[in-house]
Amino acid sequence: MIIIGELINGMYKDVTRAIVNREADIIQHLALEQVREGASILDVNVGPYSKDPVRDMRWLVETIQSVAEVPLSLDSTKADIIEEGLKIVKKRAVINSTSADTDRMNIIFSLAKKYNAQVIGLAMDKSGVPRGKAERVELAAIVIAKAIEYGINTEDLYLDPILLPLNVAQAQAVEVLESLREIRLLCNPAPQTIFGLSNLTQGIKTRSLINRTFLTMAVANGLTSVIMDPLDRKLMDALITAEMLLNKNIYCESFLDAYRKK
Amino acid sequence: MAIELVKERYSNAINVVEIGSVGSSMIKIGGETALPFLFKEGSMPNAPVTALEILDCEPTDWPDTLREPFGEAIKDPVRWAKMAVEKFATKLLCVRMQSVHEDYGNGSSEESISVLKAIAKEVKVPLVVIGCGDDDKDNDLLPKASQALKGRNCLFGIATQENYRTLAATCLADGHAIIAESPIDVNIAKQVNILISDMGFDPERIVMHTTMTALGYGMEYVYSIMERSRLAAFIGDKMLSMPFILFVGQETWKVKEAKEFGMRQGVNWEIATSVSVLQAGADILVVRHPDSAKAITGYIREMMKANGK
């Protein structure tokens, strides 16, 4: 399972403050904690309040890279902010993200090609969020076709069927689960599948329980990567257990420790 | 149309374990990046090694066919050790500290250690040292043995899920590698490795003994457990990435087919069993008859010719 740590995001107040005041130690601590708890990639998002997002992105990437040697997921809706990060990353980056809109895909896949980056593709376009399994798979197929056109390996593509908040669109959760399997069958080599787990439980009290229950269901349905909070210990335990039950890791009494020794 | 081979590529390699000190012609095992002898898929930087096994006392219950090649020397462990190294050219010597066992005369630890020291003084090849199999006796004997051979970088055994702390602590203190045993069970194999490494033991100093049986007594099961463990290691399981040691002689010379039908059959049984486990990933084969050791070493040499080609 590829775990993308979500915590370095200007949506969080402490991160915004750290960016504004250039408090490197706060960002670095978050980076190291996430890696220690199992993140293999770190998401980097300057947030909606940044006054100079290009410079902030550069600062964040440099700050993280000076302590953690992990690939970064450059998270922005603006191509110039993403490119600023791509210019200085030390490890192969992930672009987070493109929609299934042609103009957006042209920009993002050009960048991906130029900087040899991986790409997260959203099953979503200008008409809004997808309303069912079929629409998700169709949009995913459009992204795959475009990526192939740009000569991008399909295994470097992370397709996100779009997880919607449970309290807004409860019926969509099962549609996401069912779409995961089908997206994996769209091409060979199969693309990665991904979603931002926390989206599911925006504004919900029992977040942790619902997140980990849904994550185990998704893993069993073909989810290969996830954007989540790796510091949620119970969530990580559930993920490790799910993978073990799917025979991806050999069981032993201390299988949780064993996974963490990897 | 030319047929193209389907090749597997793995991300993780088996750990390399060094045994012996520089002066004693150190041996390296492990390092494989693919299943045994599949040189088109990966490499085996270190050839599997054959070790001759001796005891620290006369092996009164060994069949004549096993005693015969060593002649009178078999009554004196030091002479026996020298003969194994000098006449039969073993590059790795396994000393089983059997004399303290009740069935073997219930000797004292001190006596056994003095024999071990004398052997270590006479032979310069790297040593594998294992206890008698009785936990209480071994927990008394092995720490002393470990200390006596401090600096020789030996491979000590045998740690099990129920009894690993004493040996792991003493090996850690004296700089020896350790053998971790499990009863033909991949889950327990992984667990023992975790338990030992949780004590601060470097996982790259552990050699796995997943236990075995001789040919005809469930070899297929042994083989499949070894293979499953290896495949897990290749895709990244660090707690199963240890090289294997197999006590082929111990298992082979227990079975009646090996003991009762004349010398050649026993030797052949030992060779056939060894070749089978080599194909499953064995890194060290501990055998008892010098003729089988010679034949197995020859087989390994032949098989390794394609390495890197």
B contact residues 211-250, partner A, Cβ 8 Å cutoff? 228-229, 232, 236-240
Cα B43–chain centre separation = 21
Whether A196 contacts A202, CB under 8 Å: no
- Partnered with residue B90 across adjacent β-strands are none
Whether A124 contacts A199, CB under 8 Å: no
The CB density around residue B200, as the number of other CB atoms within 10 Å, is: 9
Contact between A254 and B236 using a beta-carbon 8 Å cutoff: no
The helix-helix angle for A172-184 and A133-149 (nearest 10°) equals: 40
Taking residues A168-179, what's their average pLDDT?
96
CA distance A8 to B261: 72
Q: With cut-offs at 50, 70 and 90, classify the pLDDT of residue B180.
A: very high
DSSP letters spanning B118-138: HHHHH--S-EEEE--S-HHHH
Of chain B, the percentage scoring pLDDT greater than 90 comes to: 90
Nearest neighbour of A250 by CB, restricted to B187, B197, B198: B187
The reply to whether B255 touches chain A by the CB within 8 Å rule is no
Contact between B237 and A262 using a beta-carbon 8 Å cutoff: yes
Taking residues B62-67, what's their average pLDDT?
92
- Interchain CB contacts (distance < 8 Å): A and B: 39
Task: Name the one residue in this structure whose structure tokens are 């990526």.
Answer: A147
The CA distance from B101 to the nearest CA of chain A, in Å, is: 32
- Separation in Å, CA B236 to CA A43, A250, B14: 24, 11, 10
If you measure CA to CA, which chain A residue comes closest to B193?
A258
Contact between B191 and A253 using a beta-carbon 8 Å cutoff: yes
Look at strands B27-30 and B16-19 and give their pairing: antiparallel
Say if B282 falls within a structural domain. yes
Chain A partners within 8 Å of B236 (Cβ): 262
Q: What does pLDDT average to over chain B?
A: 94
Tell me the two tokens of residue B5.
Answer: 């081979």
pLDDT digits (tens, 9 = 90+) for B187-200: 999 999 999 999 99
- Separation in Å, CA A53 to CA A76, A77, A78, A79, A109: 9, 11, 9, 11, 21
CA distance B208 to B247: 11
Contact between A261 and B239 using a beta-carbon 8 Å cutoff: yes
Contact between A261 and B191 using a beta-carbon 8 Å cutoff: no
3-state SS, residue A215: helix
Q: Which amino acid is at B217?
A: Y
Closest CA to A83 of A123, A63, A49, A53: A53
CA distance B33 to B41: 8
Say if B22 falls within a structural domain. yes
Q: Range of A73's domain?
A: 2-260
pLDDT digits (tens, 9 = 90+) for A10-41: 999 999 999 999 999 999 999 999 999 999 99
pLDDT digits (tens, 9 = 90+) for B229-280: 999 999 999 999 999 999 999 999 999 888 887 778 999 999 999 999 999 9
Q: With cut-offs at 50, 70 and 90, classify the pLDDT of residue B24.
A: low
Q: What does pLDDT average to over chain A?
A: 96
Continuous H helices in chain B? 64-67, 77-86, 109-122, 135-148, 165-174, 186-198, 219-234, 248-252, 256-260, 263-280, 290-304
Interface test with A, best of B239, B240, B241, B242 (most A CBs within 10 A): B239
Q: What is the pTM of this model?
A: 0.87
Q: With cut-offs at 50, 70 and 90, classify the pLDDT of residue B69.
A: very high
Closest CA to A32 of A62, A66, A74, A73: A66
Chain B partners within 8 Å of A245 (Cβ): none
Contact between A261 and B194 using a beta-carbon 8 Å cutoff: yes
Contact between B188 and A252 using a beta-carbon 8 Å cutoff: yes
DSSP B36: T
Per-residue confidence (pLDDT) for residue A243, from 0 to 100: 95
Is pLDDT of A161 > 90? yes
Say if B100 falls within a structural domain. yes
Is pLDDT of A68 > 90? yes
Say if B7 falls within a structural domain. no
Per-residue confidence (pLDDT) for residue A89, from 0 to 100: 98
Taking residues B91-100, what's their average pLDDT?
97
Whether A122 contacts A147, CB under 8 Å: no
ipTM confidence: 0.80
Taking residues A193-198, what's their average pLDDT?
97
Of chain B, the percentage scoring pLDDT greater than 70 comes to: 98
Residues of A with CB under 8 A from a CB of B: 249-254, 257-258, 261-262
Say if B245 falls within a structural domain. yes
Q: Range of B31's domain?
A: 17-304
Contact between A254 and B240 using a beta-carbon 8 Å cutoff: no
Tell me the two tokens of residue A235.
Answer: 């969530």
CA distance B58 to A73: 67
Per-residue confidence (pLDDT) for residue B306, from 0 to 100: 87
Q: How many domains does chain B have?
A: 1
Cβ neighbours of residue A247 closer than 8 Å, sequence gap 6 or more: none
Contact between B194 and A262 using a beta-carbon 8 Å cutoff: no
The CA distance from A258 to the nearest CA of chain B, in Å, is: 7
Chain B partners within 8 Å of A262 (Cβ): 236-238
Contact between B237 and A252 using a beta-carbon 8 Å cutoff: no
Continuous H helices in chain A? 13-21, 24-36, 53-65, 79-88, 102-115, 133-149, 172-184, 207-220, 233-245, 255-260
If you measure CA to CA, which chain A residue comes closest to B186?
A250
Whether B209 contacts B179, CB under 8 Å: yes
State the CATH number of the domain containing residue B79. Answer: 3.20.20.20
Tell me the two tokens of residue B305.
Answer: 């010719």
Contact between B238 and A261 using a beta-carbon 8 Å cutoff: yes
pLDDT digits (tens, 9 = 90+) for A84-110: 999 999 999 999 999 999 999 999 999
Whether B282 contacts B246, CB under 8 Å: yes
pLDDT digits (tens, 9 = 90+) for B6-18: 888 899 999 999 9
Give the residue, A207 or B24, on which the prediction is more confident: A207
If you measure CA to CA, which chain A residue comes closest to B188?
A252
Contact between A250 and B188 using a beta-carbon 8 Å cutoff: no
Q: What is the length of chain A?
A: 262
Chain A partners within 8 Å of B227 (Cβ): none
Cβ neighbours of residue B256 closer than 8 Å, sequence gap 6 or more: none
Chain B partners within 8 Å of A1 (Cβ): none
State the CATH number of the domain containing residue A153. Answer: 3.20.20.20
CA distance A115 to B245: 47
The CB density around residue A170, as the number of other CB atoms within 10 Å, is: 10
Whether B183 contacts B220, CB under 8 Å: no
Q: How many domains does chain A have?
A: 1
